[in-house]
Amino acid sequence: MPFRIRSSLALSVLVFSTPALAQEVPEDEGVDWDVIAMPDPIEQPPIRLDLPDFVEPVPFVPAEQPKLPRNVRDMITEAMKSDKVEEADAVVKFAMKVQPWFKDEIKAMQKADHDRRDQEAKDKAEAKERRIRQAGFLQLWTGQVELGGFRNTGNTDNFGVTGALKLDRQGIKWQHTITATANYQETSGAVTTNKYLFAYQPRFTLHEGYFVYGRTQYERDPISGYDNRYSLSGGLGRRLISNKAMTLSVEAGPALRQIDYVDDPSETQWSILTSLDFGWKLNDTVKITQTASAYVGSDNNTFTTLTGIESAMTKRLKLRLSYNFEHETSPASGTLKTDTTSTFSLVYGF
């Protein structure tokens, strides 16, 4: 027998009634499904989201990479125009300290400056080498002339003059140096100094500052007991220091000396010659020079030093104060062992 079924739906779940609630339905009656009432759906509360306050985005504006400030760039550029790379590097170091954010850009400027200087030095050296190779032997000589003197009257009647000439030619491997000096003095009409020297020395560079040399020298000093003294030597040398501010070279080798004394018989002496040549440029104006030599033999030793200080007046003209010391361990008869000469002179370079 068919039954009428009452039902309820909650949350989409169909629950059938218990048999105790079932009712008999006549067979001739159909099931009216419309009477199966669906309950109203449970009303759900609206969804609420707690979000932070909306912030307007910063608009994108295309911009170039920051660059080194123009005043700093101009300062560095001006410093790099100097011939002294040390000054430019000092300015670069200061700029990197005050502008550390642009360190890479500043370093790039410094590298470009160093590359430019290196290229200029290379081009200059190549041009100098071409000029030397194309020049004749009588060309490319440089030198200086030195002249000084004094005159005293009154209780002491003195007159003296001193002069010197130095010529130098620097080649690719060869260097030629010619020196000549003269000292003359009269005291109360009598000659008290009459000394002359002439020397020629070639040098040939071997490798990394080493060189071989030869030297011929002629001296005349009757006051010191000899009319003529000839020296011939050769040996090995080395440039220990060679830069713009300082130079230092040393030499050593055997030497042969022929001496014609005023009163004593002539003699020939074998000895060892050692020498030193030093120069120190303190600044653009002042320079100190020092040369020294020693002839060491079995019969006589000769030690000579010449110390000078120069002060530039113009590009070619300078003042020079020098002190010469010469000592003989076995001088000629009737002469002293030590001679000294102090000179104040003008030097002209060419």
Q: Decide if 26 is inside a domain.
A: no
Full domain range(s) for residue 105? 70-134
Cα separation values, 295 from 201, 262, 266, Å = 16, 21, 18
pLDDT in tens, 165-188: 999 999 889 999 999 999 998 888
Last residue of some domain: 97, 112, 134?
134
Residue 224, by phi and psi: left (phi above 0), alpha (psi -120 to 50) or beta? alpha
CA angle 217, 218, 223 (to 5 degrees): 135
**pTM assigned to the model:** 0.68
Tell whether 102 and 148 lie within a shared domain.
no
Structure tokens at 188: 């109360």
Domain total in the chain: 2
For the domain that residue 281 is a member of, what is the CATH number?
2.40.160.40
- 3 state DSSP class of 157: coil
Cα separation values, 243 from 138, 248, 280, Å = 27, 9, 10
Give the residue carrying structure tokens 């600044």. Answer: 283
Tell whether 107 and 148 lie within a shared domain.
no
pLDDT in tens, 212-255: 999 999 999 998 899 999 999 999 999 999 998 999 999 999 99
Q: What are phi and psi of 49, to 5 degrees?
A: -115, 130
pLDDT in tens, 251-283: 999 999 999 999 889 999 999 999 999 999 999
Last residue of some domain: 134, 152, 187?
134
Instruction: Band the pLDDT of 55: cuts 50, 70, 90.
Output: confident
Tell whether 162 and 203 lie within a shared domain.
yes
Contact assessment for residue 99 and residue 69, using Cβ atoms and an 8 Å cutoff = yes
Residue 59: other Cβ atoms inside 10 A: 5
Q: What is the C-alpha to C-alpha distance for residues 231 and 212, in angstroms, rounded to an integer?
A: 17
Contact assessment for residue 146 and residue 153, using Cβ atoms and an 8 Å cutoff = no
